[in-house]
Amino acid sequence: MSTHPTTAVAANALCHDTTLRALALRLIRICDPHDNAAEVRAHGRVNLVVGADHNIEEPVGVPGRPERPPLLEPRLMPQRAVGSQVGRAALVHALTHIEANAINLALDLVWRFRGLPDALYREWWQVAVEEARHFQLLHTHLKSLGYAYGDFPAHDGLWEMARRTRDDVLARLALVPRTLEARGLDATPAVRNKLISVGDTRGAEILAIILRDEIRHVEKGNRWYRSLCSQQQLDPVGTYACLAQRYGAPRLHGPFNLPARRAAGFTEEELTVLCDTSPRARLPTTIP
C-alpha cells in the first residue's frame, strides 16, 4: 500500500535548494527549532519547482534534534496544575513542543515521498509555514511567562508515528493529520478553557488561531487520503481501520469536537464509527 518512498541518491537536490522537496529536506535537518521556524517562514512564498519525481536518499539527521528538551515516555511526563505559574508554563511548553514537531511532520511529508501531485506538496509546504507561525506565537507567550522552549521535558509520540509510516504515504496521511493532529481539534477547546479560567487570555487567543488553522490542515489530510484511496480503489473507512491496526495507532476517546471534525472533512460515516468506538463521546453543536 506504500507509494514511492524515496530510496536513491539525488546529490544536487541534497546540496542545493533546487526544488521544493530539497528545500524541505534541508530545513528539517536544522537542529535549532527557532532557526527551523524562522527559515520556514522566511521561505514562505518560495516559488521552486516541486521535483515530485526526484529520488532523494534519506541522510542522517532527519529530523534535526535540539539538545533540549529532554524526551521522556508519555507515561513518565510530570503532571502540573495549570493554576500555578509553573503549571501554566508547562502546558504552554507542551503546546510549543507539539508545534515544533508539526513543522517537521509537514516538511517530512514534502521531502520523503515521491511521485505525488504537485498540489499536495505545495499544500503541505504551506502547512509547515503555518505551523512555524504557531510555534513562534506560543514560544513568545512562553517567554512572557518566564520560560523558554527546552525548560520542561517533552515526549516524542508524534514523531514516533511518522517513523512508523515512513514507507507508506497512505498510512502517513491516515494516521498523522487524520488521527494524531485531529486529536487537537478535540482537545484544544478544553485547553483553551483552562487558560481562560486562570486569566490567560493571550494563550486562549493563540489557541483560537491554532484551532482555525488546524481545521484546514486536517481537511487537507482527509482530502488527499481519500484521493489516494480512490486512485487505489480502496474503501477509505475500511482501509483506515486496517492501517490503524497495522501501525499501532492509538484508540481515540471522546469527547469529540464533531463540528470541527465536520469542518475538517470527516464524513458522517466516519464520525459514526468514531463515536461508536468511544464510550465517552458527546455531540457538541458548534465549533468552540
φ and ψ of 49, to 5 deg: -65, 150
| Residue for grid cell 520523503 | 112
**Rounded to whole angstroms, how far apart are CA atoms 76 and 160?**
16
Question: Quick one: pLDDT at residue 284?
Answer: 39
pLDDT given for residue 7 in this prediction: 33
What pLDDT score does 160 carry?
Answer: 92
CA 58 to chain centre: 20
Ordered alpha helix ranges (H), the chain:
11-15, 20-28, 33-42, 85-112, 118-144, 157-164, 169-175, 181-197, 201-231, 236-246, 258-263, 268-276
Tell me the pLDDT of the chain (288 aa) as tens digits: 444 443 333 333 344 679 999 999 999 999 999 999 999 999 999 999 999 999 999 999 999 999 999 998 888 888 888 889 999 999 999 999 999 999 999 999 999 999 999 999 999 999 999 999 999 999 999 999 999 999 999 998 889 999 999 999 999 999 999 999 999 999 999 999 999 999 999 999 999 999 999 999 999 999 999 999 999 999 999 999 999 999 999 989 999 999 999 999 999 999 999 998 654 444 333 434
Query: Domain spanning 82-276: which CATH class is it, in words?
Result: mainly alpha
Helix (H, G, I), strand (E, B) or coil at 110: helix
pLDDT digits (tens, 9 = 90+) for 222-279: 999 999 999 999 999 999 999 999 999 998 999 999 999 999 999 999 999 999 865 4
Show me where the domains of the chain are located.
Answer: 82-276
SS3 154: strand
C-alpha cell of 46?
518560495
Round to whole Å and give the CA distance between 135 and 221: 20
The 8-class DSSP code of residue 113 comes to B
**Sequence-separated (6 or more) residues with CB below 8 Å from residue 61:** 29, 31
- pLDDT of 270-279, one tens digit each? 999 999 865 4
Task: Answer whether 98's CB lies under 8 Å from 158's CB.
Answer: yes
Q: What are the Cα distances from residue 190, in Å, to 86, 211, 255, 282?
A: 19, 12, 10, 14
pLDDT of residue 278: 54
Query: How many Å apart are CA 29 and CA 222, to the nearest integer?
Result: 27
- Contact between 154 and 97 under an 8 Å Cβ cutoff? The reply is yes
CA distance linking residue 256 with residue 282, whole number of Å:
6
Cell, residue 272: 459514526
